[in-house]
Amino acid sequence: MIPGNDLKKEWQDFATQESQPAFYRIYTHYYHYLTYLGVKKGANSELVKDVINDVFLFLWESRLKLREIHHFHNYIITIFLRKLFRKESFVEEVNEAMDLPEWLLSTSVEEQLIDREQTAQLSKTVRAYIANLPSRQQQMIYQKFFLNLSYPEIAAANGVSVNTVYNTIYKTLDKLKAGINKELISVLLYVSFAGYILFSN
Amino acid sequence: MPGKDMSPLISDERFINYCLQRNPVDVLYWEDRLRQDPELEKEVAALKPLVLALAGQSQYNEAQQQQERLRQLIAEKEQLPKALPSPYKNWYRMAAAAVVLALLTAGIYLFKTPARPIPVAQQAPAADVAPGGNKAMLTLADGSRIALDDAANGKVAQQAGVNISKTKNGQLVYTIDPATAPAAAITYNTIQTPNGGQYQVNLPDGSKVWLNAASSLSFPVAFTAHERAVKLTGEAYFEIAPDGNAPFKVTVNNMTVQVLGTHFNIMAYANEKSINTTLLEGAVRITNEKDSKVLSPGQQARLTDHIAVSDTDTDDAVAWKNGMTVFKNADIQSIMRQISRWYDVEIEYKGEIPERLFTGKIPRNVNVSKVLRVLELSQIHFSISGKKIIVMP
């Protein structure tokens, strides 16, 4: 797979027509890609987040000058790494970044995940559960379940111990598992209770 | 199923790859394992949809949140530059522009209200705190005190050789009155702003000083021929009229800033980590008992136990004077200190607040709930009760 190939059309639309939807599609894809890359390189999660937004703010502001840039994949990674480490030259690192897993390069990976093999109810429960967690825990869940970074990598990026990460992941699965069973039970209870009212009248 | 130990599954990195069908080698490995172990297969069958849901929802949630922040950053950038072109020449025009901008920005925030609940805005619509305004107390040499926000415009006081009058826009003007005789001895006035107050003073030599909230400036009613010396606490922006014969001197605790004619800002709140002097034009010399440094325009000196000089964005340092609150890579505590000064509120922290650094620009003339709403986009929560803001994770 050629990196960035999928998004060629979006890049065109963004650089020549200032298309906002195209811009945010590129953003969403590279958000995951650059987070993975940044954390793998040992950077702090919060810094990585801020730098990604910095990169895209810069891209948006200089959109009129971007027409000549065809290898936008390398371009985005270069400015990301420059801003992240405040260094000027990054030839080596960009080449190294090419070794990232294939699935990260595919743009469809986001959509694939949302609907595949999931009931709407399960998605809703999980979404509500995540939304109620502190942001650091949300972040660790994202880094584990979506990016599948290692426990030591996630621990380093968030400034917590490996144990904390592990416990967060374990608890998340455990609670959701229990919660889903409980939901089933409450549905059953409700049904039998409604039945009771019907019959007692 | 509850009570089953999931440890072997979640400590295996190949397991998530298998669930997400990402790596053929890992998928084959797990398929093989599950064929040999029907017990494990049952457990995995229950866990797999959860792992998929977590991967899908967490990445969606994360990307959405960040995209929201980026949209906000872009909206701010595209609104703001219009206010910047003529920074320090026309204070009234700037203030007017700031008001318009504030309305625009507030409008954007209102329209952009995200779908998820916003505690501050929704729980208690009545609990809000209005921003600060032009408020100050003037203490004359004889000890009498005048509340400047109540005083009518026009002449406020007359002292030996000097008239003091108040103009409508929170400005106090000292003018030399040739009709009366100058005082024999140097007498001092002090202007003091409370939390939530700001004020401008035009000194008799033509220099202008903007005082931020919770600050004070003591100055002689008339300067002598050889020296212009004032004392500051808190924060002020100075535009000093050039006078080669009489250097201007600002004293803050045991630091002095000596200038000829120049524009600079001093931030010296007692509860901040350092005293920051930022130079916009001209040159200043900063001295404390151990050290002495000269600043050139665009530089900032941070005084802790020593003086460190670095390049800085001067717009940020004087943003408060131009009607904006700006923070760059600031932690929540330092932002809340600014909020507490400008909105005159007490801050209380409950629970473990995530350590985050914020970068942003918010107009100073909006109610505090607007400011908090922007901060809430980053998963910190607030509740307002009376004049107290509680910060929660």
pLDDT tens-digit map of B255-275: 999 887 789 999 999 888 899
pLDDT in tens, A134-161: 888 999 999 999 999 999 999 999 999 9
Whether A134 sits inside 8 A of B359 (CB atoms) is no
Q: What is the average pLDDT score of chain B?
A: 79
Contact assessment for residue B257 and residue B291, using Cβ atoms and an 8 Å cutoff:
no
Stretch among A72-86, A117-131, B8-22, B332-346 having the lowest mean pLDDT: A117-131
- What is the secondary structure of A71-114 as a DSSP string? -HHHHHHHHHHHHHHT-S--HHHHHHHTTS-HHHH-TTHHHHHH
Q: Residue B183 — very low, low, confident or very high, per pLDDT cuts 50/70/90?
A: low
DSSP summary character for residue B148? T
Q: Which residue has the higher pLDDT, B79 or B321?
A: B321
- Residues from chain A that touch B77, judged by Cβ atoms under 8 A, are 57, 61
- Does any domain span residue B80? no
Contact assessment for residue B63 and residue A110, using Cβ atoms and an 8 Å cutoff:
yes
Q: Cα–chain-centroid distance for residue B91?
A: 20
3-state SS track over B215-264: EEEEEECCCCCCCEEEEEEEEEEEECCCCCCCCEEEEECCEEEEECCCEE
Domain boundary among B283, B317, B351: B317
Q: Which residue has the higher pLDDT, B176 or A73?
A: A73
| Residues B16 and B124 both lie in one domain | no
- Does any domain span residue B362? yes
| d(C-alpha A71, C-alpha A105), whole Å | 14
| Residues B109 and B216 both lie in one domain | no
| Residues B118 and B146 both lie in one domain | no
Burial class (CB in 10 A: 0-12, 13-18, 19+), B331: middle
Cα-trace Rg, chain A: 22
User: In a mutagenesis test of the A interface, which of B10, B21, B51, B59 is the best target, namely the one with the most A β-carbons within 10 Å?
Assistant: B59
**Model ipTM value:** 0.82
Residue B87 has pLDDT above 60, yes or no: no
Q: Residue A119 — very low, low, confident or very high, per pLDDT cuts 50/70/90?
A: low
Q: Cα–chain-centroid distance for residue B59?
A: 32
The total of structural domains in chain B comes to 3
Coil vs helix vs strand at B320: coil
- What per-residue confidence (pLDDT) applies to A69? 82
Q: Is B186 on the interface with A (CB under 8 A)?
A: no
Domain boundaries, position B261: 134-317
Q: The domain that contains B153 carries what CATH number?
A: 2.60.120.1440
Comparing alpha-carbon positions, the chain A residue that sits nearest to B10 is: A170
Residue B121 has pLDDT above 50, yes or no: no
Domain boundary among B317, B334, B354: B317
| Residues B142 and B183 both lie in one domain | yes
DSSP summary character for residue B159? E
| Residues B202 and B290 both lie in one domain | yes
- What per-residue confidence (pLDDT) applies to B348? 92
Which residue of A46, A60, A173 is in closest CB contact with B356?
A46
| Residues B41 and B165 both lie in one domain | no
- Does any domain span residue B235? yes
- What per-residue confidence (pLDDT) applies to B188? 85
- Does any domain span residue B46? yes
| φ and ψ of A5, to 5 deg | -60, -40
Mean pLDDT, rounded, for A164-169: 92
Which residue of A126, A148, A170 is in closest CB contact with B6?
A170
Mean pLDDT, rounded, for A17-35: 90
Whether B54 sits inside 8 A of A130 (CB atoms) is yes
Coil vs helix vs strand at B204: coil
**Number of CB pairs, chain A paired with chain B, less than 8 A apart:** 139
- Those of residues 325-384 in B touching chain A at CB distance below 8 A are 354-357, 359, 378-379
- What per-residue confidence (pLDDT) applies to A15? 86
Stretch among A165-169, B53-57, B287-291, B362-366 having the lowest mean pLDDT: B362-366
Mean pLDDT, rounded, for B319-331: 82
- Residues from chain A that touch B10, judged by Cβ atoms under 8 A, are 166, 169-170, 173
Structure tokens at B196: 């939530």
- Does any domain span residue B82? no
- What per-residue confidence (pLDDT) applies to B179? 67
Mean pLDDT, rounded, for B143-172: 80
- Residues from chain B that touch A144, judged by Cβ atoms under 8 A, are 16
Q: Is B47 on the interface with A (CB under 8 A)?
A: yes
- Residues from chain A that touch B24, judged by Cβ atoms under 8 A, are none
Sheet holding B381-385, edge to edge: B346-349, B388-392, B381-385
Mean pLDDT, rounded, for B198-206: 87
Q: Which residue has the higher pLDDT, A178 or B294?
A: B294
Percent with pLDDT over 90 in chain B: 17
Secondary structure percentages of chain A, helix, strand, coil, to 5: 80, 0, 20
| Residues B258 and B305 both lie in one domain | yes
Q: What is the average pLDDT score of chain A?
A: 77
Which residue of A28, A60, A123 is in closest CB contact with B53?
A123
DSSP summary character for residue A68? T
- Those of residues 54-113 in A touching chain B at CB distance below 8 A are 56-57, 60-61, 101, 103, 110, 113
| d(C-alpha B83, C-alpha B71), whole Å | 20
Q: Residue B122 — very low, low, confident or very high, per pLDDT cuts 50/70/90?
A: very low
Long-range contacts of A51-54 (CB under 8 A, 24+ apart): A51/A80, A51/A83, A51/A84, A52/A80, A52/B66, A53/B66, A53/B69, A53/B70, A53/B73, A54/A83
- Does any domain span residue B262? yes
Structure tokens at A129: 């559960």
| Residues B172 and B307 both lie in one domain | yes
Mean pLDDT, rounded, for B69-77: 86
- Does any domain span residue B2? no
| Residues B235 and B376 both lie in one domain | no
Q: Residue A190 — very low, low, confident or very high, per pLDDT cuts 50/70/90?
A: very low
Q: Residue A133 — very low, low, confident or very high, per pLDDT cuts 50/70/90?
A: confident
Q: What domains can you pick out in chain A, each with its CATH number?
A: 5-106 (1.10.1740), 118-200 (1.10.10.10)
- What per-residue confidence (pLDDT) applies to A160? 92
Domain boundary among B287, B317, B347: B317
Mean pLDDT, rounded, for A93-118: 56
- Does any domain span residue B73? no
Which residue of B13, B56, B73 is in closest CB contact with A148?
B13
| Residues B232 and B301 both lie in one domain | yes
- What per-residue confidence (pLDDT) applies to A5? 62
| Residues B150 and B50 both lie in one domain | no
Q: Is B66 on the interface with A (CB under 8 A)?
A: yes
| Residues B220 and B361 both lie in one domain | no
Q: The domain that contains B378 carries what CATH number?
A: 3.55.50.30
Q: Residue A53 — very low, low, confident or very high, per pLDDT cuts 50/70/90?
A: very high
